Amino acid sequence: MAFSKDDIFKAADTLDAAGQSPTLAAVRKALGGGSFTTISEPLNEWKAKKAAKKVVHREPPPPAVSDQLHEMGLEIWSEALLLANGRMEAERQSLVEARAEIEAARKEATEMADQMSLELEEAKRRVAALTAEHASMQGEIEQLKGQLIESSERAAHAQARTKEISLRVDDLNTQLARVNTQNSDLIQALSMRTTGKDPEKSAPSVQAGSGSTSGTDAAL
């Protein structure tokens, strides 16, 4: 928010009337904001005007003194004025130099304060960005955890299903072996019936050995 010179003057007058020193920070607080650089120059002008009002004006000697002293008094008065003016000039020069040093230090402090304000705002923005990034990453972590749990459940289900299928395959293999055995027995029985042999009677001959085998060959 921008403030005019009159706004800064009024704030300084208010602080001065209240017995407070109108510093940069105090005026900025009274205004409710503003840049130190913007406030600094008008505030210096206000202080210079106030200091000018306090300058004591030198008055010429009263007529009675001038008449009594005549020329000697005038010479003494002139010397006194010269001495006083010289002293005032020296003091004024010292004041100018001191004011220049103070102004340079104030300008440096103002620039530093503005720079620190900018750095603080940048740090706040950075913190906000990092906070948002942290929240986003935390959300992604939670999502990945959910996916991992889901994948683990799927893997456990697949493992159980694989075991179930494996048991079923073993059972089917057993049944298949049994069926194959039965088929072999049926084929053998069918073959014997086709040749006119009784499977029940031929069984002992098979167990008898080579003699029975020879009899079978003779029958064929």
Residue type, 103: E
Give the per-residue pLDDT at 175: 92
Give the per-residue pLDDT at 10: 92
Residue type, 189: A
- Please count the CA atoms within 13 angstroms of the CA of 63 that sit on its side-chain side: 0
**Domain positions in the chain:** 1-53
Q: How far apart (Å, rounded) are the C-alpha atoms in residues 8 and 15? A: 11
Q: How far apart (Å, rounded) are the C-alpha atoms in residues 212 and 220? A: 13
Q: How far apart (Å, rounded) are the C-alpha atoms in residues 141 and 148? A: 10
DSSP secondary structure, 23-60, as one string: -HHHHHHHHT---HHHHHHHHHHHHHHHHHHTPPPPPP
Query: If the chain, 220 residues long, is cut into consecutive pieces of 10 residues, what is the mean pLDDT of each piece?
Result: 83 90 88 84 87 62 60 70 81 82 82 83 90 89 89 87 89 90 87 67 42 37
Q: How far apart (Å, rounded) are the C-alpha atoms in residues 86 and 81? A: 8
Give the per-residue pLDDT at 115: 84
Q: How far apart (Å, rounded) are the C-alpha atoms in residues 157 and 215? A: 63
Nearest Cα neighbor of 77 from 60, 93, 89, 92 is 60
